[in-house]
Amino acid sequence: MIPFNKPYLHGKELVYIAQAVTTGKISGDGVFTKKCHDFFEQRYGFKKVLMTTSCTDALEMAAILLDIQIGDEVIAPSYTFVSTVNAFALRGAKIVFADSLPDHPNIDPVNIARLITSKTKAIVVVHYAGVACDMDTIMAIANQNNIPVVEDAAQAIDSYYKGKPLGSIGTFGTFSFHETKNIISGEGGLLAINDEKYIHRAEIIREKGTNRSSFFRGEVAKYGWVDIGSSFLPSDIIAAYLFAQLENIDKIQTRRNAIWQRYYDKLSIVLANTGIELPIVADYSTNNAHMFYLVCENLEQRTALIQHLKDNCVHAVFHYLSLHSSEFYQDKHAGDALPKSDHFTDTLVRLPLFYELTDEQVDHICLQIKQFVESK
């Protein structure tokens, strides 16, 4: 069976973990955490970054920093992972779901504009498959209404919008290093802070509500409880693993892009005039090859395709279920139909894509898809 995902181990991950252990400090903000922070700030120009235990935690920090309160409204796409909105629901916010674009799972800016009210306190966008949302339009809407934007860039490391790194455009950017992502540490995340006024408080929130970071810099004589917060910082062992991956980001990205392009070149021929659609990358976005997906014509076709691939030793999977119709939120949703989100819920299928996927395996997968469409 060709797996859907296989975590990539370059080799230095274990070496750096051993080095972290020998330093005598394997809790948060050790040597390798600082190396990771420096990498992101220098390569992508983020004003400040803070490693977290997950992208979920980075989103929760963003919700606290924006002082989201009970009754506030937060606009977000329905076609996303639950963490995107759960971070704000935990603060008591009402999630106002927006639909996807007609040809891409990303949030539709037209939907955002019509959903804004006097209670809207944040707009959360998700760069699905590492492909940028229409950030000029979204930021214009946000700035006109003085609403901060949070970029859920969990899938979008090393991807750009008109030359700007994703995660650097809104007030905050959040990233994931889960084992299914391009660059991994098993679990792990990052908060990118693009507005300097939030930096000091972010450090406090991340350190359980204390000014411990200021203390270790010698800025205060002692540290104590000064705000709400939680334990959001990861072990330096996680950072050690991540730094080894970051050192090889260009190598990893080159191979992933080659796999993505091989899929596209072969399937653009196989799927011509079949009704099954290939992924779209907007002109304003780069492609970080996080994911290769197809959009089937309907749920029945997708179910049959996944089963056909499974029968021929390929593990392909569907993706998100529309959150506005989830068991938890369907009674809270205002009731607006979100047909594009529901369409992707029923029709999108993801193909295997990982660093060690061989050209021969890609060719096998494409052949099986060809046989599937020819049999119908």
63-120 tens-digit pLDDT: 999 999 999 999 999 999 999 999 999 999 999 999 999 999 999 999 999 999 999 9
Cβ 176 vs Cβ 188: under 8 Å:
yes
Confidence band for 376, pLDDT divided at 50, 70 and 90: confident
Hey, which residues does 75 pair with through a beta bridge?
96, 123
Sort 95 into a burial class: Cβ within 10 Å, 0-12 / 13-18 / 19+: buried
The whole-angstrom distance between residue 328's C-alpha and the CA centroid of its chain comes to 22
Stretch 292-320: mean pLDDT: 98
**Distance of alpha carbon 229 from alpha carbon 212, whole angstroms:** 12
Residue with tokens 């990358």: 281
pLDDT in tens, 223-241: 888 999 999 999 999 999 9
Q: Give the β-pairing of 189-193 and 164-165.
A: unpaired
| pLDDT the model gives residue 220 | 76
| pLDDT the model gives residue 211 | 85
The whole-angstrom distance between residue 199's C-alpha and the CA centroid of its chain comes to 22
Residue with tokens 């996944």: 306
pLDDT in tens, 159-183: 999 999 999 999 999 999 999 999 9
pLDDT at 215 over 80: no
Confidence band for 213, pLDDT divided at 50, 70 and 90: confident
Paired tokens of 99 = 């639909």
Stretch 266-276: mean pLDDT: 97
**Distance of alpha carbon 8 from alpha carbon 216, whole angstroms:** 35
| pLDDT the model gives residue 358 | 98
Q: What is the tally of helices (H) and strands (E) in the chain?
A: 13, 11
| pLDDT the model gives residue 169 | 98
Domains of the chain: 12-246 (3.40.640.10), 249-374 (3.90.1150.10)
